[in-house]
Amino acid sequence: MGSKYAKWLGGALGWAFGGPIGGLVGFSLGYLLQNATLEVGPTRDPSGGHTHQGDFAISLLVLAAEVMRADDRVLKSELNYIKRFLVAQFGEDKSVELLRVLKDLLQRDIDLAPVCRQIVGFMNHAQRLQLVHFLVGVANADGELHKKEWEVVSRIARLLMISEKDLLSLEAMYEVDTDRYYRILEIEPNANAQEIKAAYRKMAKKYHPDKLGDVGEDVKKAAEEKFRQVQQAYEKLNK
């Protein structure tokens, strides 16, 4: 059955079909396979421990569901944020079906610890950073970062072995105050020119899009935007 899921997602689902994540989404995806009216194109077998765009997207749906319901309400702005990502990754028709998976996840009890352990086992640090970046975007989708949502994002980041400095850097990319440039580069406001340059080189290396692998074009575009914000922060502080 695993190959059928991968086929429906364009050959892009591998390790996420098994383990805790597979247990959460398996029923929903099975229902879609039975009822989908989509044409299925060429496929490939899921390979080893490599993270493909389907693995990334399904992992995002599971974690986003927990963030979205943290403040006891699911907003249209949050659903639209997720939908834009899915449309860019899989097209309009498949995104509609995958949103049904998300709506099913919103009704489920999700144990974050084993889910995050599975993700850490298969995703590299750059991929996990991008995953958390999307979750911060979900939490900010309505223009306001609620305390309960931030608590869930922070917990997920810790479980995904993302440092607090990295998390605050990602949060700063959604803010507009001047000090955000320091937080993006993970330095103090009294940093000198040499420290700013060293921080830029470190962050540029950490956030380089080439480290993401085969996770889909929209994920890479988001990473490129994050990379541009690091460059912008350096340019602003360098002046």
What is residue 11's predicted lDDT score, i.e. its pLDDT?
55
What is residue 152's predicted lDDT score, i.e. its pLDDT?
95
What is residue 12's predicted lDDT score, i.e. its pLDDT?
62
Q: In this predicted model, what pLDDT tens digit does every residue of 37-83 receive, in sequence order?
A: 333 332 233 334 577 778 888 899 999 999 999 888 888 888 888 88
Confidence band, pLDDT 50/70/90 cuts, at residue 5: low
User: From CA 100, how far away is CA 61, in angstroms rounded?
Assistant: 10
Look at residue 151 and tell me whether its pLDDT is greater than 90.
yes
Q: In this predicted model, what pLDDT tens digit does every residue of 153-185 receive, in sequence order?
A: 999 999 999 999 888 888 887 776 667 777 778
**Which comes out higher in pLDDT, residue 106 or 5?**
106
What is residue 90's predicted lDDT score, i.e. its pLDDT?
76
What is residue 218's predicted lDDT score, i.e. its pLDDT?
63
User: From CA 95, how far away is CA 83, in angstroms rounded?
Assistant: 6
| Domain boundaries defined on the chain | 2-173
CATH class of the region 2-173: mainly alpha
**Which comes out higher in pLDDT, residue 72 or 106?**
106
* Listed residue (216, 192, 156) closest to 9, CA to CA: 216
What is residue 160's predicted lDDT score, i.e. its pLDDT?
97
In the chain, which residue ranges form alpha helices assigned H by DSSP? 2-8, 19-35, 53-68, 76-90, 92-105, 112-122, 125-139, 147-159, 164-172, 180-184, 193-206, 217-238
What is residue 227's predicted lDDT score, i.e. its pLDDT?
76
Residue keyed to tokens 């702005």? 77
Q: What percent of the chain has pLDDT over 90?
A: 19
- What number is the average pLDDT over the span 102-129? 92
What is residue 161's predicted lDDT score, i.e. its pLDDT?
96
End-to-end CA gap in the chain: 57
Look at residue 24 and tell me whether its pLDDT is greater than 90.
no
Look at residue 22 and tell me whether its pLDDT is greater than 80.
yes
Look at residue 116 and tell me whether its pLDDT is greater than 80.
yes
What are the tokens at 28? 């929903």
